[in-house]
Amino acid sequence: MEKRWLLKERGDTRVVTTLATEMAVPAAVASLMAQRGITTKSQAEEFFNPTLGSLHDPFLMKDMNRAVDRISTAISRNEKILVYGDYDVDGTTSVAMLYSFLRERHSSLDYYIPDRYHEGYGLSLKGIDYAAEGNSRLIIALDCGIKAVDKVKYARSKGIDIIICDHHLPGDGIPDATAVLDPKQPGCGYPYKELSGCGVGFKLMQAICKVQNIPFERIIPYLDMVAVSIGSDIVPMTGENRVLAYYGLRQLNESPRLGFQKIIEKAKIRKPLAIEDVVFRIGPRINAAGRMESGSRAVDLLVSQNPQEALTICDAIDINNDDRRKKDSEITSEARRMVSEDSRSGNTRTTVLFHQGWHKGVIGIVASRLIETYYRPTVILTESKDGFATGSARSVPGYDLYQAIESCSDLLESFGGHMFAAGLTLKQENLQQFRERFEKFVSETIRDEHLVPSVNVDEEIPLEEVTMELYRNLEKFQPFGPENTAPVFVSRRVKTLSCQPVGTNGMHLKLTFARQNGEPVGAIAFGQADMIETFRESGGVVDIAYSVELNEFRGKTSVQLNIKDIKG
């Protein structure tokens, strides 16, 4: 499928020129700064040299005093505290972090992760009952709870107080909890709104440290979990998130906790780790526990202080991850076959598939994979244990999926999510009507350009500017993530010196291009073996969109292009 190249607007010429001179960098690098809102030398120095001293005062967050007071009371009275969190990476790292911190100061402590299949997302009645049966007087809910109005009432009826630490958008009403920590709630003056759930938990720890005169340095080791949550939850890599991720990655590289160390060894991840290793290698393993078995297992690993125990849990989670990949591959193949066999598929603007036997833990991944192939809003459903059709929906960039699902709300038992991802449950007898209504709404509201994949391009440069110096300058922009993505460049009329298929079934392309001065530069195009015809038809002269990375081979390092797209 041909992609659109969307070239970002270049920064103000005068600003770019001044930055290039003052920072002694190429104009292309100065332009990248300007695109990120960096317009002065002092801003550039702050961006490239993040400091923990720039973190905001945690007491700027609404209800922080109340939260710290209630926890202090629980500790002084030796009340039992239950640390509760979601089953995904953000939730499990949040729980592991706060539980590890509190157990150094409090002995009456427990943690709880809801079951993805029996309880679903967020605070559950079963979890609250578990707290009551275990005589917990306080629940600290992490990465969930901001919409749990009824669940908080239920907990209060059981004599249990709740502190909510969430980062999602609130609903119509705020739960009547003892304290609600969420920068996105009305009336919260906290300056940075995009923290992960684990990030909100870290701010709570920071506040406790301030009140109890605990040196801030004591909580720096917990930043490895914050970095993993930020990378895996796809929150913006800006402001405080960038600072926390920067120092969290340093912690992961220099002194990771035992659980992460076992994952790094098991996955054979080479140091130094970058945010990409978190997103594609560490995060999926943590997630696999909740997808295939129980998210509690991920917490068990991250709080473990026993090397043999940690290794045993890590081995089990690795098996979960292998099972997840196998299920993912099987269901994706089956789903693609269903689409190809549907005679109407070529005329629709959505994909809605249901199969009774599909594994609920991977259908969100499958929906994302189908979008890579067909590039249209997608809903993948399976049968739940109570006989309903339940599943996940994913959107294409720029289209509000949540609005489309909401338009069918009368057919649904429940739904929730945001613009690009959602979950939903409905009666099986409503499936066909939902499929038709969803297709109709999307067809009437989606624009043609939403259905064409795009490559966001930062700069157009001649290939001769791709040097080791450029790579070193680009590395300073790390860690990458939303709103600070790895720069993508375009170079035009580039001569191809060599092109050969590599990898399993020859699905990738290994390439060599010539710079304008004749010097070669290597490249890899993952999953683009079908583009080999483009080279033949163009006589080897092409336009390329790419990011710049480092290639290490037989002890030698060189810059390499990671090809995003090719046009003849």
- Are the beta carbons of 543 and 491 closer than 8 angstroms? yes
In this predicted structure, the answer to whether residue 120 has a pLDDT above a threshold of 80 is no
In this predicted structure, the answer to whether residue 478 has a pLDDT above a threshold of 80 is yes
- Are the beta carbons of 261 and 309 closer than 8 angstroms? no
- Delimit the CATH 2.40.50.460 region(s) of the chain: 4-49+455-567
The residues near 138 (Cβ < 8 Å, ≥ 6 apart) are 70, 71, 74, 79, 80, 81, 82, 160, 161, 162, 163, 178
* The pLDDT value given to residue 53: 95
pLDDT tens, position by position, 525-551: 998 888 888 887 788 899 999 999 999
Give one DSSP letter per residue of 386-404, joined into a string. TS-EEEEEE--TT--HHHH
Q: Side-chain half-sphere of 128: how many Cα atoms within 13 Å?
A: 20
Q: How far apart are CA 23 and CA 44, in angstroms?
A: 8
* The pLDDT value given to residue 217: 97
Q: Which tokens is 480 given?
A: 């990458």
pLDDT tens, position by position, 445-466: 999 999 999 999 999 999 999 9
Q: Around Cβ 178, how many Cβ atoms within 10 Å?
A: 23
Token pair 């067809």 is found at: 443
In this predicted structure, the answer to whether residue 147 has a pLDDT above a threshold of 80 is yes
- Are the beta carbons of 30 and 19 closer than 8 angstroms? yes
In this predicted structure, the answer to whether residue 503 has a pLDDT above a threshold of 90 is no
pLDDT tens, position by position, 253-301: 999 999 999 999 999 999 899 999 999 999 999 999 988 888 999 999 9
Q: How confident is the model at residue 568 (pLDDT cuts 50, 70, 90)?
A: confident
In this predicted structure, the answer to whether residue 523 has a pLDDT above a threshold of 80 is yes
The residues near 203 (Cβ < 8 Å, ≥ 6 apart) are 58, 61, 64, 181, 195
pLDDT tens, position by position, 19-75: 999 999 999 999 999 999 999 999 999 999 999 999 999 999 999 999 999 999 999
Q: Which tokens is 311 given?
A: 């290794």
- Delimit the CATH 3.90.1640.30 region(s) of the chain: 58-316
- Are the beta carbons of 474 and 461 closer than 8 angstroms? no
Pick the more confident residue, 482 or 226: 226
In this predicted structure, the answer to whether residue 416 has a pLDDT above a threshold of 90 is no
Q: How confident is the model at residue 234 (pLDDT cuts 50, 70, 90)?
A: confident
Of all residues in the chain, what percent carry a pLDDT higher than 70?
100
**Weakest-pLDDT range from 87-91, 182-186, 418-422, 429-433:** 418-422
* The pLDDT value given to residue 82: 98
Q: How far apart are CA 178 and CA 184, in angstroms?
A: 17
Q: What is the mean pLDDT of the chain?
A: 94
- Are the beta carbons of 85 and 142 closer than 8 angstroms? yes
Q: What is the arithmetic mean of pLDDT over 241-248?
A: 98
* The pLDDT value given to residue 6: 94
In this predicted structure, the answer to whether residue 118 has a pLDDT above a threshold of 90 is no
Using alpha carbons, select from 407, 374, 370, 410 the residue that is nearest to residue 392: 370
Q: How far apart are CA 7 and CA 453, in angstroms?
A: 14
Q: What is the arithmetic mean of pLDDT over 431-446?
A: 96
* The pLDDT value given to residue 421: 84
Q: How far apart are CA 320 and CA 210, in angstroms?
A: 40
CA-based R_g, the chain, Å: 25
- Delimit the CATH 3.10.310.30 region(s) of the chain: 342-451
Phi, psi angles (nearest 5°) of residue 425: -140, 135
Query: Where are the alpha helices (H) located in 342-400, listed in sequence order?
Result: 363-374
**Weakest-pLDDT range from 172-176, 411-415, 507-511:** 411-415
- Angle made by CA atoms 470, 471, 477, in degrees to the nearest 5: 100
* The pLDDT value given to residue 260: 97
The residues near 310 (Cβ < 8 Å, ≥ 6 apart) are 258, 259, 261, 262, 301, 304
* Percentage helix, strand, coil for the chain under 3-state DSSP, each rounded to 5: 50, 20, 30
- Are the beta carbons of 82 and 112 closer than 8 angstroms? yes
What architecture (CATH level 2) is domain 58-316?
Answer: Alpha-Beta Complex (3.90)
| Pairing of the two strands 508-514 and 520-525 | antiparallel
* The pLDDT value given to residue 555: 80
Q: Which of the four CATH numbers 3.40.50.1100, 3.30.565.60, 3.10.310.30, 3.40.50.920 does domain 342-451 have?
A: 3.10.310.30
* The pLDDT value given to residue 479: 96
* The pLDDT value given to residue 466: 96
- The H or E element that residue 247 is part of is helix 239-254
What architecture (CATH level 2) is domain 4-49+455-567?
Answer: Beta Barrel (2.40)
